[in-house]
Chain A
Amino acid sequence: MINWAHAGPSALAAFLASLVEFVEALTIILAVGTVRGWRPAIIGTIAGVALLTLLVLIFGPALQQIPLHDLQLFIGTLLLLFGMRWLRKAILRSAGLVGLHDEEAIYQKQTLKLSEGREIVRERLDMVAVATTFKATVLEGLEVVFIVIAVGATGHMLVPAGLAAAAAGIVVIVLGFILHKPLALVPENTLKFAVGIILSTFGAFWIGEGLQFHWPAEDLSLLGLACGFLIVALLAVWLARRIDAAFTLETGSVTSNGAQKIEEGVHS
């Protein structure tokens, strides 16, 4: 029986992170299906899912053989690198310094790219389409598998994390099926911001466990760490905005000074 109160943070992290990855995979699968046909798109997707299942079946049981503290340290390190990378990018995006991930633009780009050479393949199986969806499914799916293992393996939460990721997949597939267009309205950066905080929290916590630190308040420290990362991330967004504004102001004054000098030169 799953204790959902205990499994909540792992399940939430797996659901939100998987949602982002599934949205990205769906964009490419939709582009392929629309332009090159649904048969190769679905074949590529199924082949990708089959490879992922095989990898999980091979490597999943191997994880159980690793001693707990080593596993915590290894998974914690990967989670921390993964989470801190997402958080850094989400902060820079929130501050307006890096462009947002635009699913609609990616869909248009993929559609245009796949339209080239479409006439040539009509009778036989369209291998370009199969390879494109296969690659998208495997790469985005690998991230989902990694997230599920990372948030689930160390705390015996693989089942709730896996179920949450599957739920995210179903939500995205159903929405994609109904809307028949990329899910551009999903607040991807907000999700990445939240997931970055959750994954960094888990990463730092598991590393601490692996190094046999005694967290104050034990498992409740997860909440404290999450609040800490949130405060630091919000502070980082504020600082990045101030830096950008300061540079913009400086450039503006330099440009206007230059314009003034040119104007003075014209008048004299």
Chain B
Amino acid sequence: MNALRTTIEEIYGLFVDDGSYALLILVWLAVAALGFGRAPGGASWGGPVFFLGLAALLLENVIRSARKIAQERAGQSL
């Protein structure tokens, strides 16, 4: 039972590290599928727009994580 739980946790960990980051990626995917993917002409500009959204999510998460880690470090050194 313990081994099964560890395996499930490891598999989950393959895809999810920061929960909010993974959730936002999935939300953006849903927006692409249900929103602009169905908009007029969406098929032609959908791909590049989808990429730009992913780029924004990555940058936002790195900035947020960097601030958090740097803040924790600063707190430790004080």
Contacts and interface: CB of A to CB of B under 8 A. Distances in A.
Contact of B69 (A98, A228, A235, A246): A98
B interface, how many residues as a size bin? 35 or more
Contacts of B62: 88, 91-92, 236, 239-240
Contact of B55 (A82, A89, A228, A255): A228
Contacts of B51: 204, 225, 228
A25 to B, nearest CB: 13
B27 interface: no
A221 B47 contact: yes
Main secondary structure of the interface of A (DSSP, over half): helix
A239 to B, nearest CB: 6
A255 B77 CA distance: 9
Interface stretch (A32-40, A156-164, A212-220): A212-220
A77 B54 CA distance: 12
Interface stretch (A7-15, A104-112, A138-146): A138-146
Contacts of A98: 69
Nearest to B54: A204
A176 interface: no
Contacts of B71: 247
Contacts of B47: 204, 208, 213-216, 221
B78 A254 contact: yes
Interface of B: 3, 6-7, 10-11, 14-18, 21-22, 25-26, 29, 32-33, 37, 42-44, 46-48, 50-51, 54-55, 57-59, 61-63, 65-67, 69-71, 73-74, 77-78
